[in-house]
Amino acid sequence: MDSAELHATVAAWYRENARVLPWREPTASPWAVMVSEFMLQQTPVARVLPVWEAWMARWPTPAALAAEPPGEAVRAWGRLGYPRRALRLHAAATAIRADHGGRVPDDHAALLALPGVGAYTAAAVASFAFGRRHAVLDTNVRRVLARALSGSQYPLNAATAAERALAEQLLPHLEGPANAPAGAPDAPVTAAEWAVASMELGALVCTARSPRCADCPLADACAWTRAGRPAHDGPPRRGQSYAGTDRQARGRLLAVLRDADGPVPQARLDEAWGEPVQRARALDGLVADGLVEPLDDGLYQLPTGVPAANPTP
């Protein structure tokens, strides 16, 4: 199967099977797309949806978010996880207001320069919000390419230069929006549509644990299937421990502050995590990350964005 055939096959599947998601609507603003990409970093769609809706209702533009303290972003982030993303999204909104006239930039380099925006997010926003042509290499796409083209069950732990080169080479030449016009099943496939379609195939069919190969439009051409779907052979993929880690401690501490109306005394944090050494280390880390602001008298709160007044000597 050549790449044109690959694009057409996956796009045809996508036009029939894509989930309806608010940030994919043609009316979705670049900011709406950007917020979704931040939230979707390592967090499943189902958990993002309600938080995204509330976020967009409250902060429909970057300037609206930038006008509020970063702690409000952390609070609204809720239990999506990795709350530093909330802080970075707030910082990105602030940079957009300061440096881009309040509009999400439309080119990859300017996006990449924003806090919390890496190679994936810059390519995704440029593609999905602006119809630009970039390789969007997320975990779904990497898995689809590993199976369909390389014949392995899983991609390597880290994306290689060869992988990125392959993704570039596979990119359709056509620019334009990610969604084909309604009722145009044979519309040409844009780079952005290929990106969202290959991601969606990985998310719905070519899944990590139990791929639904019977429903896959690429099953006949898939190198991994043709090879008999051999089990992963290579270094073990790194696991993620959690219970008892600093991450869990940080999560418990921050949850107390999120759920409180105002500043919280140290004693409330002590209840949230019993082990004092780890608790202190976790709290220090949260403060260092800017997720927590220490006040006088052993009080703590979510960040206000206003540096605490220095006591006069």
| Catalytic positions | 37
Does position 313 bind DNA by CB under 7 A?
A: no
| Type of residue found at 73 | A
The CB-of-140 to DNA minimum distance in angstroms stands at 5
Binding mask 177-216 for DNA (x = CB under 7 A): ----------------------xx-xx---xxxx------
Q: 6 is written with which tokens?
A: 């690959």
> Is the distance from CB of 17 to CB of 204 less than 8 angstroms?
yes
Q: 40 is written with which tokens?
A: 């979707």
Does position 238 bind DNA by CB under 7 A?
A: yes
Q: How far apart are CA 82 and CA 91, in angstroms?
A: 15
Q: How far apart are CA 300 and CA 287, in angstroms?
A: 9
The DSSP annotation for 33-44 comes to: HHHHHHHHTTS-
Compute the chain's Rg from CA coordinates: 22
Closest CA to 207 of 147, 164, 254: 147
**Complex with DNA: residue 159 or 173, whichever CB lies closer:** 159
Q: How far apart are CA 268 and CA 89, in angstroms?
A: 28
- Binding to DNA in span 135-164, by CB under 7 A: 138-140, 143, 157-158, 160
Q: How far apart are CA 192 and CA 296, in angstroms?
A: 51
The CB-of-312 to DNA minimum distance in angstroms stands at 32
The CB-of-203 to DNA minimum distance in angstroms stands at 4
Binding segment toward DNA, per CB under 7 A, in 57-65, 101-109, 234-242, 296-304: 234-242
- Give me the helix-helix angle, 191-204 and 3-17, nearest 10°: 60
Does position 255 bind DNA by CB under 7 A?
A: yes
Does position 4 bind DNA by CB under 7 A?
A: no
- Binding to DNA in span 37-66, by CB under 7 A: 37, 40-47
Does position 100 bind DNA by CB under 7 A?
A: no
Phi and psi at 53, nearest 5°, equal -60, -50
Beta strand residue intervals within the chain, DSSP E: 264-265, 293-294, 299-301
Binding segment toward DNA, per CB under 7 A, in 62-70, 181-189, 243-251, 270-278: 243-251
Binding segment toward DNA, per CB under 7 A, in 20-28, 164-172, 182-190, 261-269: 20-28
Does position 131 bind DNA by CB under 7 A?
A: no
**Complex with DNA: residue 226 or 237, whichever CB lies closer:** 237
Does position 120 bind DNA by CB under 7 A?
A: yes
Phi and psi at 151, nearest 5°, equal 80, 15
- Binding residues for DNA (CB under 7 A): 21, 23-24, 36-37, 40-47, 79-84, 88, 115-122, 124, 138-140, 143, 157-158, 160, 199-200, 202-203, 207-210, 237-240, 242, 245-248, 250-252, 254-255, 285, 291
